[in-house]
Structure 1
Amino acid sequence: MFLTERVAVKVVDRAKLDHKKREMLTEEVTSMERLHHPNIIRLYEVVESPRHIYLVMEYAPAGDLERRVSREGPLTEADARSVFSQLLAAVQHMHSKKLVHRDIKAENVFFASRSRVKLGDLGFSRRVSGIGEHLTQFCGSPSYSAPELLSAASYRGDRADLWALGVLLFFSVTGRLPFDGASLAELRRHILAVRYRWPAGVGSEPCRELVAALLQRDPAARPSAAEAGRCRWLNGHPPPAAGRSLSLRAAPVTAQEREARARLRQLGVSETTLESHRRRGCHSPVTGLYRMVLHRVCREEEESGGSGKQLWLRGGDRCKQCTIL
């Protein structure tokens, strides 16, 4: 019996890893290990070879937001509300864990299905001592950069994330970025002046209000992720709750964990083997397998509406697959 599961693999060339890039990779892995949310790409395993490091992650098969808008045009406001609510929940979860993303953009918003999105690419993520900590490293895409990244010696990562969400929301409903320019210097001037214009007839008043709140020149005036979730535009659309941890605990606590372990036993993985690999975390292939199975169990439950219906691991889902014998 075997398991096939689609995965995304980030390949890192060891020869190109200087000290700074190694620190960033460590931050990325550490961040993904701390996050358990249905709208954030999950890390299954880290595999190391003499020449490469491989990050084996959850795969979102339906493309990214930038590609969808480029091909199909702006989202309807209803679809934009659904996407934004999920992203806001993901960012709120990150900030609650004292993590900031710092590279929120349409290319890093992935569709697991037509309507479910996942925030990914945590390569610039950073753990902070407190959510108000000031950072100094400039990172991310210029078009999504908050004014303080372009003009100040330091910035708050959480407030920069909220600015980027404002840019993302504007892009989702209009099909274009709010700030542009023929050169980086012109783009910088437009961002610093918060100079953008809505296309005629696009965006309801509550939607425009939220964008205006997020795209404020003063970082302190921007709402937090939790405050943005209570805005008029999102009224009646509660964000998704945090998901279950994929940690391999000493003893199963939930029904999903017990089901995952039962499936692993059918794959020939004993409780003794699980326990011997528990402390190795994402650097263990057994832990990686456990995380894939547990994530699949949870996903099946969500897809069946929480009815407890069990859908066994199907061998026909073969595309960008990881096959474990």
Structure 2
Amino acid sequence: MVPRSAGAEPPPAWYLRDWDSGALYKRGRLLGEGTFGRCYQVTEVTSGRLYAAKLIPRARLATAAIGDRVERERELQRHLRHRHIVRLHGHFTDRGHLCLLLELCSRGSLADILRARGRLTEPEVRYYLRQLLSGLRYLHGHGLVHRDLKLSNFLVTERMRVKIGDLGLARRAAPPGRRWGALCGTPAYLAPEVLERRGHAVPSDVWALGCAVYTALTGHAPFEARHRPELYRRIRGARYPLPPQLSPRARALIAHMLDPEPAARPSLAGVLGHPFLTQGFTPQALPPRACHSVPIFVGQEPLRRILRGLRCWRGCGCVPVTPGGGRAPPQST
């Protein structure tokens, strides 16, 4: 959900009660606002636990499309347990709202970070992409296609881990011989086969993830146009610019994921094994300042080896050796 100014709908009460369990939640800051309703940080009064509460007015649930999507999200997330998928803790109704009680991702989304930063570095994209691939492989392994992968649905926790959220459009993959031909999702992330009503499948999720990788690395979507027909023409022809600042490995991965032919795109395992991910530096963790400024990577392997060697030399009596094989001259302390 993308933060924006509040609309005409009044905010809910300061306290929300789950009448079935008796739990009381205090409403906190607005996290975002989307198609269904608003999302707030809430605190369970008794335990002090923090959650994200997606509040959907009951009047909107009467709309068939919204009601079905909310019910699908609730039903799917009830059965999913993965460290890189936003967890649904429960749901209840209070004062005219349906409340979905979700795992709190307090750092916002990758779209929020991109707005603050402009674009991300390749080590950061590798860091996030590995986690997203883990969560997406779990979804696909359960026969589910997300159908709306984008940066605003990739949520970041307090510890700078990323999780896939918003499963409202997710659906089980069509059985052999059938296809789900609905045109749904975010226009700039739709795969060519989806535009041609050939249906969503695993390759269309790979395409959308490729669009997200491109957007994170460049600061803008690969397919942009003022009018929808021109946007769709560019998508069908896979016509997008490749900025020169991208590394050859990044360019190769994007070209592979954005192949207009679904069968030619890599599997998720193929993305994970691509040289962009296997041959570049990937940080073990990111500092919170990476949400608003470029992080400084001081833990790369060559530097770690040098520092480890210096600590060993100074601390345990080891004798360093020069490149020629002789002993290095003694150093003053």
- What is residue 223 of structure 1 aligned with on the other side? 266
Query: One-letter code of the match for 1:40?
Result: I
- What is residue 91 of structure 1 aligned with on the other side? 136
Q: 1:235 aligns with which of 270, 278, 282?
A: 278
Q: Within 2, Cα distance between the matches of 1:70 and 1:50? A: 35
Q: Within 1, Cα distance between the matches of 2:157 and 2:279? A: 23
How many pairs align?
Answer: 237
Residue 146 in structure 1 maps to residue 216 in structure 2: no
Counterparts in 2 of 1:130 and 1:3: CA distance versus 1, 3 Å: farther
1:16: how far off? 2.0
- What is residue 185 of structure 1 aligned with on the other side? 229
* Residue segments in structure 1 that go unaligned for 5+ positions in a row: 240-325
Asked if the contact 1:132/1:156 (under 8 Å) is kept, the reply is no
Q: Within 2, Cα distance between the matches of 1:230 and 1:21? A: 38
- Deviation string 1:110-153 (CA, Å, 9 cap, x unpaired) is 11136311111111111235599621111111111111121x23
Aligned-partner SS, 1:4? coil
- What is residue 205 of structure 1 aligned with on the other side? 248
**More relative contact order in 1 or in 2 (CA 8 Å, sep 6+)?**
1
1:231: how far off? 1.4
Q: Within 1, Cα distance between the matches of 2:251 and 2:176? A: 27
Aligned-residue CA RMSD (Å): 2.3
1:236: how far off? 6.7
- What is residue 293 of structure 2 aligned with on the other side? none
Counterparts in 2 of 1:104 and 1:60: CA distance versus 1, 3 Å: same
- Deviation string 1:264-301 (CA, Å, 9 cap, x unpaired) is xxxxxxxxxxxxxxxxxxxxxxxxxxxxxxxxxxxxxx
Structural mapping, 1:226-305, within 5 Å: 226-235=269-278
Asked if the contact 2:182/2:197 (under 8 Å) is kept, the reply is no
Counterparts in 2 of 1:129 and 1:192: CA distance versus 1, 3 Å: closer
Asked if the contact 2:109/2:156 (under 8 Å) is kept, the reply is yes
1:5: how far off? 1.6
Q: Within 1, Cα distance between the matches of 2:160 and 2:178? A: 34
- What is residue 199 of structure 2 aligned with on the other side? 155
Asked if the contact 1:65/1:111 (under 8 Å) is kept, the reply is yes
Counterparts in 2 of 1:130 and 1:88: CA distance versus 1, 3 Å: farther
Query: One-letter code of the match for 1:226?
Result: A
Asked if the contact 1:146/1:191 (under 8 Å) is kept, the reply is yes
Give the TM-score, by structure 2 length: 0.66
* Residue segments in structure 2 that go unaligned for 5+ positions in a row: 1-44, 283-333
- What is residue 87 of structure 2 aligned with on the other side? 42
Query: One-letter code of the match for 1:191?
Result: I
Q: Within 2, Cα distance between the matches of 1:235 and 1:133? A: 36
Q: 1:126 aligns with which of 146, 168, 171?
A: 171
Query: One-letter code of the match for 1:28?
Result: E
Aligned-partner SS, 2:263? helix
Query: One-letter code of the match for 1:180?
Result: E
Q: Within 2, Cα distance between the matches of 1:209 and 1:173? A: 13
Identity percentage of aligned residues: 34
Residue 25 in structure 1 maps to residue 91 in structure 2: no
Q: Within 2, Cα distance between the matches of 1:168 and 1:174? A: 10
Q: Within 1, Cα distance between the matches of 2:197 and 2:242? A: 31
Query: Which is helix-richer, 1 or 2?
Result: 1
Aligned-partner SS, 1:12? strand
Query: One-letter code of the match for 2:266?
Result: P
Aligned-partner SS, 1:156? coil
Counterparts in 2 of 1:131 and 1:234: CA distance versus 1, 3 Å: farther
Q: Within 1, Cα distance between the matches of 2:187 and 2:85? A: 23
Structure label with greater radius of gyration: 2
- Deviation string 1:189-225 (CA, Å, 9 cap, x unpaired) is 111110011112x222222111111101011111221
Residue 57 in structure 1 maps to residue 102 in structure 2: yes
Residue 109 in structure 1 maps to residue 154 in structure 2: yes
Asked if the contact 1:82/1:115 (under 8 Å) is kept, the reply is no
Aligned-partner SS, 2:55? strand
Q: Within 2, Cα distance between the matches of 1:91 and 1:78? A: 20
1:28: how far off? 0.6
Aligned-partner SS, 2:129? helix
Asked if the contact 1:131/1:158 (under 8 Å) is kept, the reply is no
Q: Within 2, Cα distance between the matches of 1:131 and 1:169? A: 30
